[in-house]
Amino acid sequence: MLASNLSKSRRALGPATFCVLALCCATAWADTSRLEVLDDHGKVLVALPMPEGERWCLEWNHSVTGIRVQDCYRHDQGKMMLERSHQPDFAAGLGHVPGRGRQVSDGQGGYWIEDIDEPVPGNRYRLRVGSDRVDHRLLHEGRRTSLSKRAAGERVTIHLRTPDFTP
């Protein structure tokens, strides 16, 4: 009788135990990576979930010509990778460096530098955020988040924080 009850208890606990273990494992394996923009004191100004394979761009208006420029990144195996850059013309400070990606037309008079695929050292870089006229902004999942509205004229750190990255 005792053996029979014990067997029934194990069968009853089986699915429940499996569900609890599955939930714990899914939580432990969940990608908690995020893109953060931090001010000079370490305060988080922007935090966006950024799981493996996700892409985002930093976009701004060139300070001299006003043209829109983009640097686009991806989360690749725990690393922030500069993937490509869009430049509508060869304004001051812009241009393709031979051997660093390949330049292709955007079909509108500008160009993309594709296949840059450079890891960003330490998964972070510093940026002096431009004025509202420059309007540094993050593009992610169809949304624009203005950094200039939060920290114009300030230095910030853009950091891909991943649980498993070791520089």
Q: What is the DSSP string of 107-152?
A: SSS-EEEE---EEPGGGEEEEE---TTT--EEEETTEEEESHHHHT
- Edge-to-edge order in the sheet of strand 44-49: 44-49, 34-38, 155-161, 124-128
Q: What is the mean pLDDT of each run of 10 residues along the chain (167 residues)?
A: 49 46 42 93 96 97 85 96 86 61 84 92 97 97 96 98 72
Widest distance between CA atoms in the chain? 86
Geometric angle at alpha carbon 78, from 73 and 79, rounded to 5°: 40
Residues constituting the chain: 167
CA neighbor of 58 nearest in space, from 121, 146, 118: 146
Which pLDDT score, from 0 to 100, does residue 80 have? 98
CA neighbor of 51 nearest in space, from 30, 27, 36: 30
CA neighbor of 151 nearest in space, from 36, 38, 34: 38
